Amino acid sequence: MKKPFVSLEQIQEIKKTYPTPFYIYDEKGIRENARAVNRAFSWNKGFREYFAVKATPTPGILQILKEEGCGADCSSYTELQIAEAVGVTGHQIMFSSNVTPAEDFALAAKLGAIINFDDITHIPFFEKIAPIPETVCCRYNPGGVFQVSNEIMDNPGDAKYGMTKEQMKEAFRMLKEKGAKHFGIHSFLASSTSSNVYYPMLSKILFELAVELKNELDIHIAFINLSGGVGIPYHPDEEGCDIMAIGEGVRKVYEEVLVPAGMDDVAIFTEMGRYMLAPYGALVAEAIHEKHIYKEYIGLDACAANLMRPAMYGAYHHITVLGKEDAPCDHKYDVTGGLCENNDKFAIDRMLPKIDMGDLIYIHDTGAHGHSMGYNYNGKLRSAELLLCENGDVKLLRRAETPADYFATFDFTGLFQK
């Protein structure tokens, strides 16, 4: 059973100031999880978690993670601006992007971010914008199929990201000739994995590549970035990853491959978004309509514009009817929003307690890739983001959008502004 980190009484009080729908994040949970990640990799003196800003690009959240020693993994101009706004600059930023506009590279260079080149052609493109930094990184794509035991995790050969091994060698040669002195390797081979062996298996691939590149090119490999891919248990009956076991698995491979090669100074980086934030955020909405036709429907004041994942690819998010946690789940519902799209459903044929109008619905595990994927179809407005502070106070991180926000970019003077 998944348990909300707020009670019905707390939400009822919050709702007096901030109408539903809204996102709420758990500061205590975020901090404790960040500390656990740092403990899991504390054996590596250079370790840093670069939080994937795209997962939750909210300055108040980045500020918390910065205080816990995390950097920022940025992939766009605005994400770089958010990082700078909370005081994350220099090598605290890993800039990992693809099909990168010149202005994005320019800002990343200005901030002193570590540039992670996605393609070998990006090197001469970047050089027209800024000098090649002394510390650089390149993204590796080994191709083929990546699998754990007999389970296929993902298909890197079909992914648009990264370089082949030969391109990595040529890229590092080019960068060395242009003045680079310290090199990093980055790779992302699978998304939302539930296995404790994903990072260790990826580590072995990258560590062996690092030894080969060091010996063949006579370069200093300063860090290896395992990127993201560590998932969470969205279903209540799923087992979650054990971050301590993951960290220990990477340590064993480090000592097996890198230490004998004289590379015990290599720092380990990660770029987790989902694992860092998803369980510590929830979308809270109110049941405002019910419909009885061929199926039983419950309509919320939130919709796919607030949380896209279920509509986009059928993602499961657990639902709690606040105040009815102990009631029997003996009613089958489709839980929907009000978009003019039939896929605007948070749940299909979900067994839940009887839902009455006015009930408050808590949608779990939306702290990452939730609000950040919101959009304005049908003129829907994005909701507020709140923080449940460690002391029990509630802080506004982002106000809800208004019609004036929606109309602000129109060049049409006839629209009212309210």
For the chain, how big is the Rg over CA atoms in Å? 23
Q: Residue 349: which region, alpha, beta or left (left: phi > 0; alpha: psi -120 to 50)?
A: left
Q: Which residues of 110-136 are buried (b: 16+ CB within 10 A; e: fewer)?
A: ebebbbbbbbbebbeebeeeeebbebb
- 220-225 and 182-186: which strand pairing? parallel
Cα dihedral 111→117→119→123 (10° resolution): 70
- CB neighbours of residue 169 within 10 Å: 18
Using alpha carbons, select from 270, 214, 254, 332 the residue that is nearest to residue 70. 270
Using alpha carbons, select from 34, 30, 58 the residue that is nearest to residue 47. 34
Joined together, the tokens standing for residue 349 give: 């044929």
Q: How many residues are listed for the chain in this entry?
A: 418
Residue of 70, 303, 340, 389 with catalytic role: 340
Q: Is 340 a catalytic residue?
A: yes
Catalytic residue list: 340
